Structure 1
């Protein structure tokens, strides 16, 4: 959003509804419909200075072929199309790492990848490896400076992990997630910190591609957040533990590489999450009433 205050910014996505177009247009971003599943960039200009590639399709394993087409081939098509850009930021995930059974294991960029699995989005680990391989190839093939950022859990609105938990609790509904361990720690990063760090991450892009974890500087467990949600909402809240073979027990990212590029994060998780909760509790409650008829 901040980028659009002083730059011409285009947002390329499917935009299945007018509401999704308006959601970004209100921030000064120009929506442009593309369809990566059909390899259709729909006359997207190719002369952008910078590319931020966040596009991602989550799917069950039976749709792996389609997910590869969108997530892996699609990324390659975008980077090829915009190969004359000054730099590209390609967003991967800490889900790419081979799962460690120790919930307190801290994943560094040199940890093994390629044998990950998740309980909630079966195609993602495979597609993330493919995405990074394509991004690394494009950096070398087109001499396009690339940063690959392995994103951790995001703190913010619009369908983020902890926001969904809070929304369901406020509405008196069971939290729709399970975790594979207790504790289940993460290194969440706030969307405002992400906005602040984009410029530095683009500025550090290289050939070959730079790889960094994109996580916060704190460690917060899912169970602690659920307890906070219960206290803030006044509603009981809990999350079930359901082991999943091969899945990472925790999601702690080592932030040292990112800190060397961007400096420390500015937003502390607990007060920011509490503020987000207080600001949006009424809307979440209203949405729950409307959904219930």
Structure 2
């Protein structure tokens, strides 16, 4: 992607920062967020991203241009308040699409958290939806489902081509869920896991996330295109914790509980057909992540 005008919401977040910095090298990139972290804003601005403070829950885009070629809706709220999270995760998406109704394509980053089948089978795009994250994040799954519905409706109403990408365990040199587990091990804390077998996911490195953005925008359509977005490799939480622990000389301690997330493996067949395969091996990606945050303990290359 070169020479495009791009708007990114949630620009200071874990997933958005590396995307914004990568795209700013060859495009005019605007990033909107609340920017409560001044250091995050400074990092983006030094990388060429124009940052504007916007409260997505308020849905007020006054002062933000509307002539963007592409919109990447990467913002997310996890406050636990239904009014705030529904406004930020669902209503704001529709208001933003109305504001940028002439965009070539709109990418809405959803989550594998929308799936809630009774078992541990791989989730296709037609698998049952439900309140997957209720044990930890009571508003998350429902507001993400609502957000998808709003985006699908507005794509049809406004004729804005859109892609809904259901992301699964993003991680990389800007952090992620596996980093929390590493830090828990370093703090001698037990890691909660669901009862039964391994909790399997498709972790996806930020390098692959960045590489897939142009194709996700290319397949945007009316009606909306919905696709799972995760790594090609199926990895259990237990396995990545064991590997990360081996890098720092820690043996993970697991605590079985129903008050945590179940495994959530995604069927990525449709992703392969539409946007291709991921390339970063999970061990290499997680080693690099660990080395970024704990260089005194982990080497990035050995």
- Normalising by the residue count of structure 2, what TM-score does the alignment of the two structures yield? 0.86
- Runs (5+) with no aligned partner, structure 2: 1-20
- For residue 280 of structure 1, the aligned residue among 293, 296, 299 is 293
* Residue number in structure 1 paired with 2:226: 211
Alignment of 1:49-198 (within 5 A): 49-60=69-80, 63-102=81-120, 105-170=121-186, 172-174=187-189, 178-181=192-195, 182-198=197-213
Distance 1:270 1:42 in 2: 44
- TM-align CA RMSD: 1.9
Q: Is the CA contact (8 Å cut-off) linking 2:244 and 2:286 kept in structure 1?
A: no
* Structure 1 residues 161 and 261, CA gap change in structure 2 (3 angstroms): same
Secondary structure, aligned partner of 1:106: coil
How has the CA–CA distance of structure 1 residues 41 and 281 changed in structure 2, closer, same or farther, with 3 Å as cutoff? same
Do the aligned partners of 2:167 and 2:229 also contact (CA within 8 Å) in 1?
yes
Q: Which has the higher contact order (CA 8 A, sep 6+)?
A: 1
| Aligned residues of 1:153 and 1:215 also touching (Cα < 8 A) | yes
Aligned mates of 2:101, 2:193 — CA distance in 1: 40
Question: Does the C-alpha gap of structure 1 residues 264 and 45 become closer, same or farther in structure 2, counting only changes over 3 Å?
Answer: same
Q: Which moved more, 1:159-168 or 1:139-148?
A: 159-168
* Residue 228 (structure 1) shift: 1.2
Stretch moving more, 229-238 or 10-19 = 229-238
Residue 8 (structure 2) aligns with: none
Structure 1's unaligned 5+ residue stretches are 286-293
Q: How many residues align?
A: 277
Shift of 1:162: 0.3
TM-score w.r.t. length of structure 1: 0.88
Counterpart-to-counterpart distance in 1, 2:123 and 2:207: 23
Task: Give the deviation of 1:56 after TM superposition.
Answer: 0.4
